Amino acid sequence: MDVFDGVENEVPGELAERLRTVGLIDHHVHGASAVRVGRAEFEASINEASTAPVPEFMTQFDSPLGLSIRRWCAPVLGLPAHASADEYFARRSEFAPAELSSTLLAHAGVERWIVDTGFGTELITTPEQLAALSGRPASTILRLERLAEELLESHSGADDFVDRFRSALDAAAQSTDIVGTKTIAAYRTGFDIDWARPGDDDVAARARAAADGPGPLRLQDPVLVAFGVHEAAERGLPVQVHVGFGDRDLDLHRTDPLLLLPLLRCMAPVPVLLLHCYPFHRQAGYLAQAFDHVHFDVGLAVNHLGTRSVGLVAEALETAPFAKQLYSSDAYGPPELHLLGSVLWRRAMGLVLGGWVRAGDCTEIDAIRIVELIGAQNAARVYGLGR
């Protein structure tokens, strides 16, 4: 499989070869499917906004992502490009889950996975399993809201919550497996909250209220969310922030990263990684050039935009210094997503940067340098992977 099939003349030779071979660091990803799924479950899993059954009048294969699966994943499984949806699903069903993942992951060209385990279940692989299936190492990200929930759900409940949370982060900062943290404030509170660092007494009171609340514990108190982010930053841990595009329980208008300005101005200046960002990727680019500690990616949306991801990648390169953007797939579940994140990003980077080279706006050496920065070097620096 050549990511530049059909566009060979648009990407200069040395740039194309570097994009084919560069080993990526996928700085935000989840596990691959660990169980066999039926057609309905598979189609639901390639729709980011819902896990509900797909309506009878449509199929998720009739989407930019569905077209990309048939275009790029079908040949890896021994089918012609653009095999029909029925042919594709029948073929993938012949593989056991581990075999399917190994086959597709082998073509992604990812040298290291940085895995968010906060939304993990027995249905997807652990970081260790993902590493074994791909033959490449995996590091992990600690989800702050889930850590708080686990502490509040423990036998100690809200007793000494502040001290126990800090002790857990101290341990994370010393871990060789955990390389950063993540907040899902986008899902729990939105970004339009008071981001000032709260006092310990207020945090303790909010923790007791959360632990004593009715039903399953779901951390959505803005004081506790802000507390977690500030505590992680104080320990020098990079903080990932889900931005923009996501599930249907997210209020998209409250996830514009410009709403994070009060936090960015007052927090300890550790690396902040704005994830996904679509449709706010231009705002994210502005923040990345305005604040030394802010970085961003356009993962997730690259897959869902399919062939139109070329435009997204071009827009992501508009404002921020090239040292402030990272590669990610944000793949979750179907290993097709782990592969496509890589394929579509490499192709888009080739077409965009190739246009710059042909127009005389940069040299081919410049373009290769940009690929290496965004593809791997920035992530290695931000997460301290060379240490």
Strand, helix or coil for residue 296: strand
DSSP 111: E
pLDDT score of 334: 97
| In contact, 33 and 386? CB cutoff 8 Å | no
Q: Express each pLDDT in 168-223 by its tens digit.
A: 999 999 999 999 999 999 999 999 999 999 999 999 999 999 998 887 899 999 99
Selection from 168, 183, 334 nearest residue 260 by Cα: 183
Burial 278-293 (b: 16+ CB within 10 A, else e): bebbebbbbbbeebeb
- Degrees (nearest 5) of the Cα angle 280, 146, 192? 35
Q: Express each pLDDT in 135-172 by its tens digit.
A: 999 999 999 999 999 999 987 878 899 999 999 999 99
pLDDT score of 51: 61
Higher pLDDT, 34 or 53: 34
Q: What is the pTM of this model?
A: 0.96
54 contacts: CB under 8 Å, gap ≥ 6: 40, 43, 44, 47, 60
Strand, helix or coil for residue 386: coil
Q: What is the dihedral of CA 120, 125, 131, 134, to 10 degrees?
A: -130
Residue 50 has pLDDT above 70, yes or no: no
240 contacts: CB under 8 Å, gap ≥ 6: 28, 116, 141, 180, 181, 182, 183, 273, 275
Selection from 348, 271, 267, 346 nearest residue 310 by Cα: 348
Q: What is the dihedral of CA 43, 49, 53, 56, to 10 degrees?
A: -80
Pairing label, strands 294-296, 272-276: parallel
| In contact, 309 and 276? CB cutoff 8 Å | no
pLDDT score of 387: 58
Identity of the residue numbered 97:
P
Half-sphere exposure of 356 (CA within 13 A, CB side): 18
366 contacts: CB under 8 Å, gap ≥ 6: 357
Please check whether the domain covering 6-37+95-381 is classified as CATH 3.20.20.140: yes
The DSSP string of 112-162 is EEEEE-TT--TTB--HHHHHHHHTS-EEEEEEHHHHHHHHHHSTTTTTTHH
Q: Would you put residue 356 in left (φ > 0), alpha (ψ -120 to 50) or beta?
A: alpha
> What is the mean predicted confidence (pLDDT) over 111-123?
89
Instruction: Name the percent of the chain lying above pLDDT 90.
Output: 90
Quick one: pLDDT band at residue 56, thresholds 50, 70, 90?
Answer: confident
Round the average pLDDT of the chain to a whole number and report it.
95
Q: Express each pLDDT in 321-354 by its tens digit.
A: 999 999 999 999 999 999 999 999 999 999 999 9
107 contacts: CB under 8 Å, gap ≥ 6: 1, 76, 339, 342, 343
Tokens of 246: 């996501």
Tokens of 253: 């208008």
